Structure 1
Amino acid sequence: MAQYDIIAATGCPTGIAHTFMAKEALEKAAAERGLTIKVETHGQVGIENELTRGEIASARAVVVAADKDVQAERFAGKPMVSVGVSKALSVEEAGKLIDRALAAKGDASAVAAVAEDDDLEEKESIGHQIYKHLMNGVSHMLVFVVAGGVLTAISFLWGITSYDSTASDYNSFAAMLKIIGGIAMNLMVPVLSAYIAESIGKRPALVPGFVAGMIAIQGLPVNAETGLIDAGGSGVGFGFLGGIVGGFLSGYTIVLLEKVFSKIPESLNGLKAIFLYPLCSTAIVGLVMLGISGPMAAINQGMMDFLQGLSSSGPVVLGLAIGCMCAFDMGGPVNKAAYTTGTLLLGTALEAGVGTETYNFGTNFMAAVSAACIVPPLITTFAVIVGKKYFSQEDHDAGIVNLILGCTHITEGAIPFMTKNIIPVMPIMMIGSSIASILTIFFNVHDPAPHGGFLVLPVVENGPLWVLAILIGTVVGGVLFTAFKKYDYDKNAKKAAEQPVLETAGTATAAVKAAPAAQAPQTTDFVKPEQVFVGESFASRDELLTFVSKKAVEQGIAQDADELMSAFIAREDMGTTGMTDNFAIPHAKSTTVTNAAVMAIKTSDIAGWETLDQKPVEVAIALLIPDTEAGTTHLKLLSKVAEALMDDEFRSAVKGTDDAATIAKLINDRLNA
């Protein structure tokens, strides 16, 4: 059974991006500290990398970074930190969470590291508990909204009234799609209510939660003739606000009933679960929900009137509000508030029917929200293409990937760019998103689908103008972002030219004044010809790493071959260092390494080394880093080597020569580029 220093669970409302960004950040932060970690993710496809009881029991501490229920009760008694998922999206913040978790256990070094941290409270705040319960409901609800909204939108391809058997554009298949989509959308509020309740009161709370959601849809039925409560009458629903209230009411009703029935003998636990809890909770919640239906309907109508009033103030006011909310935290609570409001207004719009004022407002609002969510990732794509030299290779690659994320309505791809420079990147993103929202409203765009980005373009009314609005917001934001990166790049270059530059060379670190412009810059030979081995033969990955560890000790780079080998293997256990095209980058950070160095080995095929393209390893470029340089020299060398391996000419040159001095020069040139 594997044992881990840290175990963690991550989860966000949509389970698309934040969940896995937090996982990656926690893994990197743990690796920097020399700790082993296993992260369980609660994404849209369910639980992955699930923690076992043994792993939980043997772990030193627990980190929960989630905005939904991740069954944290499993970790009872363990030193634990529980925060929202947005608190673990950067390696730095994730590292702080790990330090806090260790500090809670009384680890002396960890306590010292966080002694000045004002946010050392380990108990989950009431505010975050409420938000987590709410987001658990939202995360389960969104898939119904997306499925129902998109199917309903597709039905419009045959005509706006193609579902109506009396209309001239009637189509039976379109009618069936609209029926299915409508059923999915109608489940939105009951599912929201039920899973808010489930987050609080666990499984017993599902029954009253669903009932509360259904009551929120239909309201209190009243007979039109008698004016009295009548099961056959009709009522005024109070929508998603009622679903939220019903969810919390149901959850805490179960918590209360658990206390009330706590003295019942354990032998009757089955009776409680199957009879007492559902019966009593449904009766209590149902009566309360029906009793508050009048005030809740008034509040719900008041909110709709407020939003429509905001719309009557003009596209600028409403679009500015939507754009700023969507770009404020890139998929976080504020963004989700805007998006959830849009989806719920869309549900009301589709229920009201095409051509109604409610439909026009809801679909226009949804189009503005979608535009605002699409723009931030596209801004980063524009910037890394136009201002490529101002970005690292890692940022450039991430920006290109954001083209796909942005076009499919996944805002979170822009988060890594914003976290590096919150000011002014956040305002820049807000400006771009606001411009897109304002123009979308101004162009009278209507989007009957709640998600999908440009994939649902065929069902968007005034789609070309929608794309134009998004492109304008992207270009404006992209130009501003590029200008900022250029300013930052020029400032850092000027600072580097005026101040001493620290160089790591062999066993010494020397401060060297910046050279005059006409003078060649100083370089560092991280890899020497005697550290290049050609023609060696190894039966396995471990045999090669053992060879490297022994040679490092022989050359005075490290002191203990066994300890160095353990560091190599620990890194491989976290994920293979086998790359593509027959290359691998094994690396070890250890106290046994005396000075940063690089060793290169050309060998016959090593088939047992897992690589990204499943090809055998022929060239290994091994990085040996002192533990004290884990966050500096290590990151520099690793990024430089990874960048070099993306260059076809570099790979071909290394493969094409067996001369140790030539290979050393090829690698050093890249490391000093």
Structure 2
Amino acid sequence: MSRKKIVAATGCPTGIAHTFMAAEALKIAAEQLGVDIKVETHGQVGIENALTDQDIMEADGVIVAADKDVHTDRFHGKPLVEVPVSKGIRTPAELIQSILNGDAPIHQVKGRAAVTENTSASAPSPTQQKTSNKWIHTIYKHLMNGVSHMLPFVVGGGVLIALSFLFGIYSADPQHETYHPFAAYLKSIGGLGFSLMVPILAAFIADSIARRPGMVVGFIGGLLANDGGAGFLGGIIAGFAAGYIILLLQFMLQKLPASLDGLKSIFIYPVIGIFLIGAVMTPLLVPITGLNNSLMDFLSSVQSTNPLLLGLIVGAMCGFDMGGPFNKAAYVTGTALLAEGNLYFMAGVSAACITPPLIIAIATTIFRKHFTPQERNAGAINYILGATHITEGAIPFAAKNPVVVLPIIMFGSAISAILTYLFGVQVPAPHGGFLVLPVVTGAFQWVLSILIGSMIGAILYGLYRKKIDKAAV
């Protein structure tokens, strides 16, 4: 009997850790189940191990474990399981088994005939029954596709702007005595990269919804939001509006002759789409700008008046799912505030994201005898992951007993965030971990805050593992 063959695609918003952890988990589970698998990864460097048309045609089913757009239209007619990337890490065997059992629904793209049939398609599967959850995940996936493409602009631009400050706070001002031409160059180029944040966000939200025609309209909507002062919130609204405007146009024009398809893509969609996004966004700019400013002012005020509460919330969110929706909600908020010139909020978010892997690393070092050799090796790697702001290294440890371990991680992350806010640390980049220390204002206090939170979490986690060992004797 020939082995079953499955293809998969994984992707997370940052494209650094979750993407490859899910891919590795699927490969290990497939080997254990006697299944051949090829996994395509959508990381920050682009698509790797790309699936060919032949791969897809020969596959018995498809697994998509992603929180961003991975071009699922190409899987039309195939049994497909689509889940968040975190499920690819936690339950890979279950996902593969759903393909083997024939429980996966046939993926259908509107306007195309199915190339294969599957008797399970007629019966409602668990995935089909959870339509509400799938709808929420779809919205989240579109949003994170925008965030994923936006991040390099924010990181690159933000760090260059921060580097200009090393020459002096006013070193980019030609009228100031500390003016330095190179500092002015850094700030100018960095500012240009940073200014594209909102348009890129909107463009790739729309691209996830309606492909290239959506991207064009989304970019214009993002520019309108950015120039009108609607900021990050306006960019999100513009991206979704642009994507669904194009879907509406496609529906209205679907009966036009196929010979006009080229004209629709290059002329009709851009012209009508840009006109419509302008008509939608122009009257919304004033209320969205007001709402955006109010939200930013509220967060800034909480940051200064109640850093304990803010740090507790941010730390708990970042430590709860370590790269999942709660973590990303705090992270995206910090990125939005960076665009508004608030460098304090992101400092706490970054500290809370760096802490979980350091908790694991320190615990496996101090309480060595209570961890297996494999866990100690993984713990050592977490020093590197934590130092570079890759939170996901703590996930395998938390997954063994999340009821106990997650609260410990959340507590340690909250302490790191609270201390960061109390010290008034400023971090100008949303990623990079300790690599961006040269441009951090209050770098020593930031590292100290993170180490205190990590040490407290590590001691609690180590004592828990010691207790388990004693109970097992």
TM-score when scaled to structure 2? 0.93
Amino acid across the alignment from 1:296: I
Once the two structures are superposed, the pairs formed by residues 566-605 of structure 1 within 5 Å of their partners are none
Q: In the alignment, what sits opposite 1:566?
A: none
Once the two structures are superposed, the pairs formed by residues 360-371 of structure 1 within 5 Å of their partners are 362-371=342-351
Q: CA deviation digits over 1:128-166, x for unaligned, max 9?
A: 111110110000001111111111111111111111112
Give, in angstroms, the shift of residue 392 of structure 1: 1.4
Q: In the alignment, what sits opposite 1:304?
A: 296
Is the 8 Å Cα contact of residues 3 and 55 (structure 1) preserved in structure 2? no
Q: In the alignment, what sits opposite 2:108?
A: none
Q: In the alignment, what sits opposite 2:73?
A: 73
Aligned CA distance change for structure 1 residues 391 and 148 (closer, same or farther; 3 Å): same
Q: CA deviation digits over 1:410-444, x for unaligned, max 9?
A: 11111111111102111111111111111111111
Amino acid across the alignment from 2:413: S
Aligned CA distance change for structure 1 residues 122 and 434 (closer, same or farther; 3 Å): closer
Q: In the alignment, what sits opposite 2:319?
A: 327
Q: CA deviation digits over 1:393-426, x for unaligned, max 9?
A: 1111111011011111111111111111102111
Is 1:471 aligned with 2:463? no
Among the aligned pairs, what percent are the same residue?
A: 54
Is 1:291 aligned with 2:283? yes
Q: In the alignment, what sits opposite 1:663?
A: none
Give, in angstroms, the shift of residue 122 of structure 1: 8.0
Give, in angstroms, the shift of residue 76 of structure 1: 0.8
Give, in angstroms, the shift of residue 75 of structure 1: 0.7
Give, in angstroms, the shift of residue 305 of structure 1: 2.5
Aligned CA distance change for structure 1 residues 276 and 3 (closer, same or farther; 3 Å): farther
When the two chains are superposed, the root-mean-square deviation of aligned CA atoms in Å is: 2.0
Give, in angstroms, the shift of residue 466 of structure 1: 1.1
SS for the counterpart of 2:348 is helix
Give, in angstroms, the shift of residue 106 of structure 1: 8.2
Amino acid across the alignment from 2:448: L
Specify which structure has the bigger relative contact order, considering alpha-carbon pairs within 8 angstroms and separated by 6 or more residues.
2
Q: In the alignment, what sits opposite 1:630?
A: none
Is the 8 Å Cα contact of residues 166 and 439 (structure 2) preserved in structure 1? yes
Q: CA deviation digits over 1:31-82, x for unaligned, max 9?
A: 1111111101011111111111111111111110001111111111111100
Q: In the alignment, what sits opposite 1:532?
A: none
Aligned equivalents of 1:266, 1:318: Cα separation in 2: 56
Q: CA deviation digits over 1:338-389, x for unaligned, max 9?
A: 111111101110xxxxxxxxxxxx2111111111111111111100001111
SS for the counterpart of 1:15 is coil
Q: In the alignment, what sits opposite 2:398?
A: 418
Is 1:250 aligned with 2:259? no
Is 1:135 aligned with 2:144? yes
Is 1:94 aligned with 2:92? yes
Aligned equivalents of 1:106, 1:85: Cα separation in 2: 17
SS for the counterpart of 2:40 is strand
Out of 262, 265, 270, the position equivalent to 2:257 is 265
Give, in angstroms, the shift of residue 104 of structure 1: 3.2
Is the 8 Å Cα contact of residues 142 and 209 (structure 2) preserved in structure 1? yes
Once the two structures are superposed, the pairs formed by residues 174-573 of structure 1 within 5 Å of their partners are 174-219=183-228, 237-349=229-341, 362-492=342-472, 494=473
Aligned equivalents of 2:385, 2:283: Cα separation in 1: 45
Aligned equivalents of 2:168, 2:104: Cα separation in 1: 66
Aligned equivalents of 2:130, 2:54: Cα separation in 1: 24
Give, in angstroms, the shift of residue 28 of structure 1: 0.8
Is the 8 Å Cα contact of residues 319 and 368 (structure 1) preserved in structure 2? yes
Aligned equivalents of 1:106, 1:302: Cα separation in 2: 45
Give, in angstroms, the shift of residue 310 of structure 1: 2.1
Q: In the alignment, what sits opposite 1:47?
A: 47
Q: Which moved more, 1:162-171 or 1:70-79?
A: 162-171
Give, in angstroms, the shift of residue 121 of structure 1: 4.3
Q: In the alignment, what sits opposite 1:593?
A: none
Aligned equivalents of 1:73, 1:119: Cα separation in 2: 18
Amino acid across the alignment from 2:148: S
Give, in angstroms, the shift of residue 118 of structure 1: 6.1
Aligned equivalents of 1:31, 1:316: Cα separation in 2: 47
SS for the counterpart of 2:8 is strand
Q: In the alignment, what sits opposite 1:582?
A: none
Amino acid across the alignment from 2:23: K
Is the 8 Å Cα contact of residues 60 and 105 (structure 1) preserved in structure 2? no
Residue correspondences, number:
455
Amino acid across the alignment from 2:288: M
SS for the counterpart of 2:81 is strand
SS for the counterpart of 2:95 is helix
Amino acid across the alignment from 1:39: V
Amino acid across the alignment from 1:202: R
Aligned equivalents of 1:294, 1:119: Cα separation in 2: 40
SS for the counterpart of 1:41 is strand
SS for the counterpart of 2:102 is helix
Gaps of 5+ in 1: 220-236, 350-361, 495-673
Looking at CA atoms only, which structure, 1 or 2, has the larger radius of gyration? 1
Aligned equivalents of 1:169, 1:413: Cα separation in 2: 43
Aligned equivalents of 2:320, 2:188: Cα separation in 1: 36
Q: CA deviation digits over 1:305-343, x for unaligned, max 9?
A: 221232244211111111111111111111111111111
Aligned equivalents of 1:406, 1:54: Cα separation in 2: 39
Is the 8 Å Cα contact of residues 191 and 213 (structure 1) preserved in structure 2? yes
Give, in angstroms, the shift of residue 119 of structure 1: 6.1
Is the 8 Å Cα contact of residues 79 and 104 (structure 2) preserved in structure 1? no
The structure with more helix, counted as a fraction of residues = 2
Amino acid across the alignment from 1:465: Q
Aligned CA distance change for structure 1 residues 382 and 120 (closer, same or farther; 3 Å): farther
TM-score when scaled to structure 1? 0.66
Aligned CA distance change for structure 1 residues 120 and 294 (closer, same or farther; 3 Å): closer
Aligned equivalents of 1:193, 1:118: Cα separation in 2: 32
